[in-house]
Chain A
Amino acid sequence: MNVDFIINFTYIISAILFAFGLKFLGSPVSARKGNILSATGMLVAVLATLLSQEIISFQWIVLGFAVGAGAGAFVAFRAAMTQMPEMVALLHGCGGLASVFVDWAEYHVNPPIGDFVTTLALYLSIVIGGVTFTGSLVAWGKLSEKLPGKPILFTAQRWINMLIVLGIIVGGILFFPDPTNYPAFLAIFGLSLILGILLVIPIGGADMPVVISVLNSYSGLVACTTGFVIHNTLLIVVGSLVGANGIILSIIMCKAMNRSLTNVLFGGFGAVVKRSADTTKKEAKPISVADAHLILESAKSVVIVPGYGLAVAQAQHAVNELSKVLEDNGCDVKFAIHPVAGRMPGHMNVLLAEASIPYDQLMEMDAINPLMENVDVAIVIGANDVVNPAARHDKSSPIYGMPIINVDKAKTVFVIKRSMRSGFAGIENDLFYYDNTRMLFGDAKEIVQSLAAEFKSA
């Protein structure tokens, strides 16, 4: 048996392990096993590749392994759960750049002269890879607040973007007939790096879940095109899996915000939303913690709606405490999670799981909404737009049509909020003025803690 056969056979096993890894993520019971299978697939693929007779020296490989594994383990153990989005963004960027470097090294020794398809794959790789790298770095900067989260806009932005795209196309026209044209190669890559920055800086912090999903898809696509450049089947399989993953998550996020992908990436930029001036003076009804406790004490079912504000206030553990005392009081407690709660798809679930809240208490929006009318108390913590009833009835509202959690249908709604300021998108929330709504003003963590304390002292 020759070595190539063994290597390629191992790749088939790896592909199967990767597929099972994703399949087992279908349930939280089997998910960990899936991750281990997937990692095993990766390990055997790399070990098999090391058998390749093309490899004549191991010193640089070992150096790369040591640096990458050390840095990877360091960040992975240090990152807090609230920092997951920026961690994932950083990983996307590194993966994208790694693929470009693989293409580049191959190109340097073996330019695809007279091979149109490989040239095309190479061209797409360096463009998408370049955009993925710098785009992910900007996303990382925005999410970790090293860069301002607000959209950065400047004059003639669209024209400059178009010029760069044009430059990339012209570079391609020069590159295709003569792939040995090294300056064209470098120019295409350089322009793609700039394009990546320009594409992400005008996108606001609230739209980052979509941006991360799109970049996830790109990092898959680069792996895929790299597979065509170096004629590697496993890269193509994996690249397609990851590409599909990013596309599906992007679509889910966009649907949850009732916006199109084009609108998020190129459109309104989630920048300034004009609010129609409301002339009628409305009055929100505040409630004290002691009174809120009395209502909660007689409640049979409570739904807690967490938003990202909950994580900002570090109130996850306090919420778990409150949920426990409510349950001890014979009350049924559920958490209603909106798909865009948090800074990346599924982020809120991770934050609540970290606070030891069992996952069978976490409900999706579509599962909880039909039950909302039978809920005694809905507690909104750090969420705003995702519970705004204007999305259902007010056609003039910028969020009209967005699916929301119908907390207003519950018998009583508590909203825990610092002040009457409007939410992330700057939209007035009618919910605060509903007859069944009571406002608990203050820091989310303190209020939740004192609510739980009331139960214990009673």
Chain B
Amino acid sequence: MDPLIYLLFILALSIFLGFALITKVPPLLHTPLMSEANAISGITLIGAVVAAGAHLQSGVTIFLGTAAVALATFNVVGGYLVTERMLKMFKKKITK
């Protein structure tokens, strides 16, 4: 099979998965939802790691790779930590 078809196949199913999962999230949690989605979009970090560790032929790629790792790590760490901070605050009523 053409690898492209395989990637498009994954794309199509993932879009459906995304819609199915996210429509279930109540508006109560939309802010943490966005910050968590934001954190996982930092998955580009796995591409950045390869760029910073493998493409060492020139200063340009070293700079791009290292900057990409720093920016993506910022995105991931910042995103998960603020989500955790927010979710920690949501408490159910203590019935007297």
Q: Which chain A residues have a beta carbon within 8 Å of chain B's beta carbons?
A: 18-19, 21-23, 25-29, 31-32, 34-36, 38-39, 41-42, 45-46, 49-50, 52, 54-58, 60-61, 63-65, 67-69, 71-73, 75-77, 79, 81, 84, 87-88, 91-92, 94-95, 97-99, 101-102, 104-106, 108-109, 117, 212-213, 216, 219-220, 222-224, 226-228, 230-246, 248-249, 252, 337, 339, 344-347, 349-350, 353-354, 356, 358-362, 364
Contact = CB atoms under 8 A, between A and B. Distances in A.
A54 B19 CA distance: 35
23 contacts: A21-B36, A23-B24, A27-B26, A31-B90, A35-B36, A54-B50, A55-B54, A56-B53, A60-B52, A61-B69, A64-B67, A71-B74, A88-B38, A98-B71, A98-B75, A101-B65, A108-B55, A231-B7, A238-B41, A241-B21, A242-B41, A248-B22, A346-B29
Given A46-B49, A60-B52, A238-B40, A344 B69 contact: no
Q: Binding site of B, secondary structure by majority: helix, strand, loop or mixed? A: helix
B38 A92 contact: yes
Nearest to A217: B37
Nearest to B30: A346
A100 to B, nearest CB: 8
A61 B49 CA distance: 6
B27 A337 contact: yes
Contact of A104 (B64, B69, B88): B64
A244 B40 CA distance: 13
A359 B55 contact: no
Nearest to A97: B71
Nearest to B68: A101
Q: Which of B3, B22, B42, B71 has the most CB of A within 10 A?
A: B71
A184 to B, nearest CB: 17
A28 B23 CA distance: 15
A35 B32 contact: yes
Nearest to A11: B46
Nearest to B35: A88
A95 B42 CA distance: 6
Contacts of A234: 43, 46
Given A223-B41, A358-B92, A358-B93, A57 B56 contact: yes
A64 B48 contact: yes
Contacts of A220: 37, 41
Contact of B34 (A99, A216, A354): A216
Contacts of B34: 88, 212-213, 216, 245, 249, 344-346
A122 to B, nearest CB: 13
The 4 closest A-B pairs by CB, nearest first: A68-B73, A64-B69, A346-B30, A244-B18
Contacts of A245: 18, 22, 33-34, 37
Q: Which of B47, B65, B79, B91 has the most CB of A within 10 A?
A: B47
Nearest to A232: B47
Given A88-B35, A233-B10, A49 B46 contact: yes
A72 B76 contact: yes
A350 B28 CA distance: 8
A70 to B, nearest CB: 9
A46 B45 contact: yes
Given A35-B87, A75-B78, A236-B7, A84 B49 contact: no
Contacts of A360: 92-93
A61 B51 CA distance: 9
Contacts of A22: 18, 21-22, 25, 33, 36-37
